[in-house]
Structure 1
Amino acid sequence: MRALSRILIGGLILATLVWLKGQFVKLHESILQLDRLSQDGGLLSHTHMTDNTHGSNSTAEDPLRAVMNAISNSFLNGTIEKLATPKSGLRDTRSKVVVVAKTAKEKTQWISSMLPNWKHAIYVTDDRTAPLHTAKNKGREANAYLTYIIEHYDHLPETIAFIHSHLSSWHNDQNAAKALQLLNIDFVQKNGYANFRCHTTPGCYPAEIQPFRNKKEQAGIDKHEAATERAFAKAWTELFNSTAVPEQIGVACCAQFAVSRDQVLQRPLAHYVWFHSWLMETSLSDATAGRVMEYLWHIIFGMEPVYCPKVYQCFRNVYDIWDILS
C-alpha cells in the first residue's frame, strides 16, 4: 500500500511538472509575441503591421529582453491615455511631424503604428534608393534634420519633432512613442524649442562643452567630448561667422527635440543651407561633426548656450507631468 502511495505521489509530481513546463512554454511564447508587437508598435496601433520578418530572431535569442519589452510596452497605451492632456501630442489637432534619421538596417515600423496621429518623415542615411534619403552618410542625425528643414522650409507643420530611430534607448527618459504622445504642444509653441531629455546627465552640470578648457583638464574627460571641444571654436566661427565663442555650452544630450514652425522661420533658409553645406564639407570626422551639431541645436533655435532646466521643471513644461520631484 505504501509503495502504491509513493507511485501515485510520484506520478502526481511528474504530471504537475509536465503541466508547469507546458504553461511556461505558453507564457514564453506569449511574451515573445508581445515583444514582436511592441517592437513593431502594434500595442498602440489601429492597424497592426504584417511584416513577419521584423526582429524575430534577436527576440528569440534574448528572452530577458523580450520580458522587459513586453512588460513596459504592454502598459504603454494605458499610461498615455491616463496622462495625456488636451494639449499633448496624443490629443492636440495642430499639424505635427516626426523627423527621423536611420540607417537602412534599423527598424522603424513602430513610428507609423505607435504614432498614428503624427505625420512622419524617415530619412535613410546610407541608402540613396530609399524614398527619403540624405545626399551622403555624414554628420549623423544632423544631416537628416537639416535635409528635412531645407526641403520643407516653405510648408512646415506647426510642430516638428526630431528623433532617433529607436523606440527605447539609454538616453531616452522614457519610451520615445510615449514622449511624443505626451509632448506638451503648447509649450513647444510658446518656447520654440523643447528637449525630449529632461535628465541632465550627460550634457549639464558641468556643461558638456568648454572650448577653452586647458589641455590638462581636457585630458581627464571622455575622448569624444575632448575631440568635440577641440573642434568647437573653429566650427562656431565657420557656422555663425562669429568669433564670440561661448565659454560653456550645455544641454541635456542627445539631439532629440521638438521645435515650432515659427522658431524655425526665425532663421532664413540660407542659414540651414549653410549649416548643411558645412556638415557635408567639413574635414571633421562623421562622429565629431555630428557631436558639434548636437550641442548647437538649442542655440540655433533660440536658447542660451547653457540650456539646462531642472529635471522637475522640464517634466512639467515638456510633458505637463507634475509629480517628478528630483
Structure 2
Amino acid sequence: MNVNRYIKTVIKYVLRAFSLLFAVSVIAFTLVKLSPVDPVGQYILGTETVSAEHRAELEEYWGVNEPPVKQFFHWFVALLHGDMGTSILYKMPVLTLIKEKFLNTLALMICAWTFSGIIGFSLGCVMGATKDTLCDRTIKKLCLLLCSIPTFWLGLLLLLVFSVWLGLFPIGFSSPIGVLNQDVSIWQQIYHLFLPALSLSLMSFANVALHTRQKLIDVLESDYVLFAKARGEGRFTILRRHGLRNILLPALTLQFASFAELFGGSVLAENVFSYPGLGSAVSAAGLNSDVPLLLGITLFSALFVFTGNLIANVLYGVIDPKIKEEQD
C-alpha cells in the first residue's frame, strides 16, 4: 500500500469532517439565535420568583448579551475542547447524555437498518426476477403503499394492533417499568425493541426493494446477459453470476444513504413508542428550549451520517476495486 496516498486520503476525510461540522455548527447556531428561544427563561422556569438582578447575573454568566459572533466563538472553542455545555433539561453534560441516549438509538437503528436491507434487497431481487408477474405487481404495490405512509402513523398503527388490541408487545419504553437497568435481560430489551425497529425498517425497506428491482431488470435486459442465455446458462446461474454482482453495489449505496433517513425516522418512532433514545431527547430539547442539547445532537447527527457515508466509500473499493476516487 502506498503510505503517502493513505495519509493523504486520511487527511482529506478529516478536513471534510471538520468543514462539515463547522458549517453545521454555524447554521445551527444561527438558526437558534434567530429563533425566539430564551434559554435563561427556560432555565428558571418552574422555580421561585427570580429577581431581575439574579436573571442579569445568569445572562452575564452565559454571555447571552454578548454579540452573536463572540458567543459563537466561545461556544465553538469549548466544543473543540470536548465541552458541549450542560443540558438545561437533564441537568447533566451534553456529551455524557448523548453517550447514554445513543446506545439505545444505535440498537434501534442497527436492527431497523439490517431488517430493511435484508428484506428490501430480497424482495427487490424477487420482483426483478419475476417482472410483470402477479408476485411482482403485488409486492410493488405494497412497497409503493409503504413509501407513502408516514412513520408516526405506521408506528401508531402497529402500537394499536399489536400492543393495545392483541397485547403481544409492550406499549413503550426500552425495558419493563420498575426494573433496574442492570436487571434487564437481553431478551427483555429485544422484546421492547421489536415494534420500534419494525416500524422504522418498514419505512425504508420499500425504497431499497424498488431500487433493487429496477437495477436487476436493467441487468437482466442487458446485452451480456442475452449473450449468457445464448451460451446456455440457466436462470439461476445468470442471477448469481451477473445479477447479484451488478446490483449489490447500488443497493449498498442506497442502504448507507438511508442513514440520514433512519436517523430522522427514529425521532418519530422513539416519540411514538416512548423509546429513550436521541430522537426523544432532541424532541424534548426542542420543546423545552434546551439549546446546548439541541446543538449537541445536531452536530452529532451530522457526524453520524458522515461516518455512514465514509463506511460506504470504503466498502466500494472492497466490493469493486475498479472504483477509485479522484485524487486532488
Q: Which has a greater percent of strand?
A: 1
TM bucket normalised to smaller:
under 0.3
Give TM-score scaled by structure 2 length: 0.23
Give TM-score scaled by structure 1 length: 0.24
**Structure ranking higher on relative contact order (CA contacts 8 Å, 6+ apart):** 2
Q: Which has a greater percent of helix?
A: 2
